[in-house]
A and B are shown apart, each in its own frame.
Chain A
């Protein structure tokens, strides 16, 4: 019975990300039992809120996790990565801020600003999408254009400034809604995830994306329009990216085109890879990508807790990433399986010998 469960678990695509997450958790618990403790503190507005490393991880990873959803879909059907996501997020953030600064900030205005940011983000994503789907350019190359120019465009939108924006409503979105102890970004992330799950359940998006990614010609011969599927993936990613950009702006309180979600695209791609989706396209693992995002954030928080200077965090991240990816490499997996069989064989041999003795 145990063996069947074990086999099912190792066969599941989620094994590596879950295992890595487990390792991180165990490591932290060993180091400091109270690492994951959640406490209730009173925040600036006088409301009781949850606080602690765990909360910090879940909160900080929200933006990357949301973007990784879009990236997973793009990777799956376009067989490549979109490296411009962070730059487009900066553009979306810029648009969000510029709309807000032009009016009095109320809830309808925030919604308007967000929709506007979404629209702009989707347009830029479609630009990428058209290059990839219609002109058949490799995603990483096509998105290199916005990667280079995107942040500058964001800068230009705000007239070459880095305006700050402060308002209790925005702080609520980036921080805590009065009365709710869970940070809002986490809530937004959960809502987003649920939406995507619903979309995957009530449409054939999952199937179509995978078919297009695995074999585009066959998709065409079965009545699927690969161009539409790819464009749709980019549209969804555009919405994800806009959401992530706006949340981050609300949390930080300003829009700096240079630093907003700096290097986040790398984190997003890493999240997708750790999560078990092949970067070369095909079958995807959405839950894995989201877990991957949390793993990366957990790693960052762990390192900060160990007093590692922020500039050096990259190096540690790199090592951990390598370990995880090496573990998932098929060559290594085969090796471990062989090793496992050898050990197991010895055991059964011993048992057999013991029985006959």
Chain B
């Protein structure tokens, strides 16, 4: 049974794209950033109007053309969406968030609402209480509530846009079993994600978009991973395997490490830890979600308030109490959430690039226009940032190019130690590869790098040392041949055994 069929000639973001979703299937929609996935979904859900083309929906057994003009209409037609960013209201209760905006009620019956919500929460095994204020729940739970809402609305089409980015493995499993459950009930699910493994775990079919055009529609069983990647990128992916693994630098005991911390703790990472990194070394922090990887590097950069610790840079003791101190010592930090902490969205690409260096230069020494343009130009070319001009507001760039601009910002400061927290999250495969290559190149040139990524493969490929974390504590270190997925898991689990 066909659920939707769609084609749009002439839209800038989408050119003649067809998409079909069958009843009771999980269909993955894939493509690099800027390929048009979000646009396609936004058209389907009524957020953007389409320029041309048609949408058909199975209503009562036959395909009828529909015109979706608003999210409300989409919802009424049975098309539900759960977005990557939590689109619920944190000031309302969990129960309210599940039911608000739906149906034709005039008056609110609090008791019924609470009971129904509690039932659903229990059925889906979501750890939240119906009367709890949503803002007090963690992101993962909030996302589950969003899904619960969609599920309760008996939708025909469920769109999940990057649902797993904030979930850990257990939660992902729960989500997948939920999806299978819905599938068996005949719901068609559109699953958008960057996690290739997950695609193969649950999807029946895969549709690939590239540059606003349809590349093809495939059965998941029949499309090997490598081919999928090549279709998404448009070229073969020997680049990936060509990345050589780096040898750990020989520990020269007479040369002090570039950065060394003893007893470092911050308000977000209260368990004091020791850490050192040598010149030209690439190390990674790994662990489950919530283990404190980001918090630890933020402590290194003093992005959070420091509560203790002594720092030595190249052997000399220094005070790092705020980001500016860290920057002055040659440390750079690319934050995890680029939209919230990285880009200054209304400013131009040029202004974003020179920002850190400008702050280091000082309040009374602004860069001239010519200087700023020269810097921006250099890095736009160097990193291949795709932008209309350097004066374009950075918010207009795609995710990958925004990330490159932020990387440029820190490269411009000529750091001796660069911290990259999830630099490859939410960007296309091509840019991911570029960034990993860049990390290795930097290491060769003598820059130390700390690299955090949720894709362990990337870290295994580039790092010479991995520090494993759990529950805001460092629990172990792996070097060289020790670094395998299994060992990482053991190390994380090992600590729990110890506890009991």
Contact = CB atoms under 8 A, between A and B. Distances in A.
Physical contact A–B (CB less than 8 Å): yes
Interface of A: 201-205, 207-208, 210-211, 214-215, 217-225, 282-283
Interface string B330-369: 0001010000111111110001000110111011111000
Contact of A222 (B345, B355, B363): B355
A136 to B, nearest CB: 15
Given A207-B358, A224-B359, A202 B347 contact: no
Contact of A214 (B341, B346, B358): B346
A204 B346 contact: no
Contacts of B360: 223
A220 B298 CA distance: 12
Contacts of B333: 221
A221 B366 contact: no
B303 interface: yes
Contact of B323 (A202, A215, A220, A282): A220
Nearest to A215: B344
B117 interface: no
B341 A218 contact: yes
Determine which residue in A204, A210, A218 has the highest number of CB atoms from chain B within 10 A of its CB, and name it: A218
B183 interface: no
Nearest to A232: B363
Contacts of B301: 221
A210 B345 CA distance: 11
Contact of B347 (A203, A205, A210, A217): A210
A218 B344 contact: yes
Given A203-B364, A214-B345, A222 B340 contact: no
Interface of B: 301, 303, 322-324, 327, 333, 335, 340-347, 351, 355-356, 358-360, 362-366, 409
A223 B324 contact: yes
Nearest to B327: A223
A218 B342 contact: yes
B344 A221 contact: no
A211 B303 contact: no
Given A217-B341, A223-B323, 5 more contacts: A203-B363, A203-B366, A218-B341, A222-B409, A223-B324
B497 to A, nearest CB: 38
A211 B347 contact: yes
Contacts of A208: 363
Given A221-B303, A221-B323, A211 B363 contact: no
A250 B335 CA distance: 53
The 9 A-B residue pairs whose C-beta atoms are closest, nearest first, are A223-B324, A223-B359, A204-B366, A223-B323, A223-B327, A214-B344, A222-B356, A214-B346, A282-B346
A222 B323 contact: yes
Determine which residue in A203, A205, A210, A221 has the highest number of CB atoms from chain B within 10 A of its CB, and name it: A221
A265 B323 CA distance: 37
B359 A220 contact: no
Determine which residue in A211, A220, A222 has the highest number of CB atoms from chain B within 10 A of its CB, and name it: A222
6 contacts: A207-B366, A210-B344, A210-B347, A217-B340, A221-B301, A221-B341
B249 to A, nearest CB: 29
A211 B323 contact: no
A219 B355 CA distance: 9
A204 B358 contact: yes
Contacts of B345: 214-215
A223 B301 CA distance: 10
Contacts of B351: 207
Contacts, number: 70
Nearest to B333: A221
Contacts of B409: 222
Contacts of B366: 201-204, 207
Contacts of A223: 322-324, 327, 356, 359-360
A222 B359 contact: yes
A282 B323 CA distance: 22
Contacts of B344: 210-211, 214-215, 218-219
Given A207-B358, A211-B344, A221 B335 contact: yes
A204 B363 contact: yes
Determine which residue in B301, B323, B363 has the highest number of CB atoms from chain A within 10 A of its CB, and name it: B363
A315 to B, nearest CB: 35
A220 B364 contact: no
B331 to A, nearest CB: 11
B332 to A, nearest CB: 10
Nearest to B393: A283
Contacts of B342: 218, 221
Contacts of A201: 366
Contacts of A214: 344-347
Contacts of A282: 346
A223 B357 CA distance: 10
A221 B356 CA distance: 9
Nearest to A205: B363
Nearest to A282: B346
A224 B347 CA distance: 16
A256 B322 CA distance: 47
Nearest to B343: A218
A221 B323 CA distance: 6
Nearest to B355: A222
A205 B359 CA distance: 11
Contacts of B340: 215, 217-218
B364 A202 contact: yes
Nearest to B365: A204
A204 B355 CA distance: 10
Contacts of B335: 221
A208 B303 CA distance: 18
A298 B425 CA distance: 54
Contacts of B363: 203-205, 208
B302 to A, nearest CB: 10
B449 to A, nearest CB: 18
B422 to A, nearest CB: 14
Contacts of A217: 340-341
A201 B366 CA distance: 8
Contacts of A219: 344
A273 to B, nearest CB: 17
Nearest to A210: B347
Contacts of A203: 363-364, 366
Contacts of A210: 344, 346-347
A40 B303 CA distance: 63
Contacts of B303: 220-221
A210 B344 CA distance: 9
Contacts of B322: 223, 225
A223 B363 CA distance: 11
A20 to B, nearest CB: 24
A227 B351 CA distance: 21
Nearest to A208: B363
Nearest to B340: A217
A207 B366 CA distance: 9
Nearest to B409: A222
Determine which residue in B303, B333, B365, B366 has the highest number of CB atoms from chain A within 10 A of its CB, and name it: B366
